Amino acid sequence: MAFQFKPSVMLETLPLLAEGLELTIYITLLGLVFGFLIGTVAGLGRLSQNRFNRSISSIYIEIIRGTPMIVQALFLYFGVPLISGVRINPITAGVITIAVNSGAYIAEIVRGAVQSIDAGQFEAGRSIGLTHNQTMLSIIWPQAFRRMIPPLGNQFIISLKDTSLLTVIGVAELTRSGQEIVAVNFRSFEVYLTVAIVYLCMTLSIAKALRWYEKKLMARSSR
């Protein structure tokens, strides 16, 4: 019996994916907001004068970058409660995983962008009497942030796709929803194709939105 492609299945699948899609967006957004905060702190920590801050940040970044996210999610959801005695729900575990994981990569983006700003900018800030923090905040950060946008966009897209790994801890996100539909109708081709297209629409939108934002920032000044 030859396989027959039924486009109608794709249309039927789409509404069934809505809840999973919503969860994927929720986890991605929340995860990235916290990931950006963690990444900024850790990235600036790596540039700190203070040795302790530098080591802590480096250790965090190396551990997270050096281990698979799927293992991090399994460890957090199944492993940690055995010691802490507190079970967390899969969605919370998912958000934490995305935040902690993307934070490590964003930290490196932040560090690279800040380091790429010419040292003369810092000196010029200090020489008119701005404090270290004022110089970082008003002079270095706005310029560094602009340079962070393309690599941040990259990271946003990676993190969005990485939420699919959270199926292993039972988060009913987009990919998981697809699996559940396939378990009922056995139409793997149509269902996974639909799931893939939904992901693609989201990643393309992120890329487009960030390009627009970058242009808007550039329009405000000439660099």
Partner 1 sequence: MSDTSSMIEIRNLYKSYGDIEVIKGVDLSVNQGEVVVILGPSGSGKSTVLRCINRLEEITSGSIVVDGYDLYAKETDINYVRSEAGMVFQQFNLFPHLSVLQNITIGLIKVRKMDKAEADKIALSLLDKVGLPDKATSYPDQLSGGQKQRVAIARSLAMSPKVILFDEPTSALDPELVGEVLDVMKKLADEGMTMVVVTHEMGFAREVADRVIFIADGVIQEEEAPDEFFSNPKHPRLKDFLGKL
* Ramachandran class of 170: left when φ > 0, alpha when ψ lies in -120 to 50, beta otherwise: left
Give the integer Cα–Cα distance in Å for 191 and 50: 52
Residues that bind partner 1 in the complex, under the rule CB under 8 A? 118, 120-121, 123-131, 134, 138-139, 142-143, 146, 221-223
Secondary structure element (H or E) that encloses residue 181, with its range? helix 174-185
If the CB atoms of residues 34 and 145 are measured against partner 1, the closer one turns out to be: 145
| Closer by beta carbon to partner 1, 31 or else 125 | 125
CB of 55 to partner 1, least distance (A): 24
- CA-based nearest residue to 62, from 54, 70, 50: 54
Least Å distance between CB 115 and partner 1?
A: 17
The nearest distance, CB 219 to partner 1, in angstroms, is 11
Q: How far apart are CA 6 and CA 184, in angstroms?
A: 16
Which is nearer to partner 1, 134 or 188 (by Cβ)? 134
Amino acid identity of residue 52, one-letter, is F
Give the nearer residue to partner 1 in terms of CB position, either 19 or 118.
Answer: 118
Can you tell me the distance from the alpha carbon of 203 to that of 201, in angstroms, rounded to the nearest whole number?
Answer: 6
Element of type H or E holding 99? helix 90-116
What's the closest the beta carbon of residue 132 comes to partner 1, in angstroms?
9
Instruction: Report yes or no: 160 and 199 within 8 Å, Cβ to Cβ.
Output: yes
Cβ proximity to partner 1: between 158 and 217 the closer is 217
Q: How far is the CB of 150 from partner 1 (least distance, A)?
A: 17
Distance between CA atoms of residues 190 and 13, nearest Å = 8
